[in-house]
Structure formats: C-alpha cells, structure tokens
Amino acid sequence: MWLFTTLGYYSITRSRLEPDRYQIRARDRQHLERLSVHMDLDMMARMSLGQIIETPSADYRWRIIVDERQLRAVVEALARCITYFNFKTEAATTAAADHSYRAALHDVWARMNRLQHSTNLETPHA
C-alpha cells in the first residue's frame, strides 16, 4: 500500500524477514523521522515505532518494522491528520512539504489525472 501524506510518502508491506510483521518503507529518511515524531506526539497514539533501518541496496532505502497493533495506530494517526479539504494545498503549506516532495506529489497527481482521462469511458458494468 502506498500512502502519500503531509508527513511523507510511505510504502507498507509485509516484512519478508518477519512475515507476521509489517514494514513501513520510505525513500526519504526524513519522512520516517517525521512519522516517528508524529507518533510520539499524537495524543491518541503516543507510541514509539522503533528504529529506522537503512537498507542501501533495497528498493526503499529506509524502513521501520512494526507489528499489527503499531500499523493500525499509524494508519489511525495519519487519518486524524486529515483536517484539510484539499491535499495538494495542505501538503504545499506544511513544514513537511519540501520542494522535491511537492514536485513528486504533483507528478503523481498529473499521472493519475491522465489515467482518469484515458480510461474507457463506456458505462461501467453493474
């Protein structure tokens, strides 16, 4: 699962080394650092995620390994962050919105917009 948030971009999958656990992966270490700080400060979660692991040869260089309880807490905490009506505008105004992340978000938005307009426009099947 990919999550694009005002804190950063995350890819969440099962851990290959620990199949009963999950890995929250990032391409930018700061994204995981912001998530960790957010989880420590979130009034409902107040949860430490553990250490950020660097895996230089992997597709995603940084990751945190979590159990199901921690993963649920992360998703719930991220959902509580949604206080805005427009994600792109909010991401552009938050401290987490560095230039390269903002540009990447706009690239993803543009590609998905093209996908929407290139799909078959026939009436969907019931």
Arithmetic mean of pLDDT over the chain: 89
Q: Is the pLDDT of residue 102 over 60?
A: yes
Q: Is the pLDDT of residue 116 over 60?
A: yes
Q: Which amino acid is at 100?
A: S
Q: Band of the pLDDT at 29, cuts 50, 70, 90? A: very high
- Report the alpha-carbon distance of residue 116 to residue 47 in Å, rounded: 38
Distances (CA, A) of 37 to 46, 87, 107: 10, 21, 27
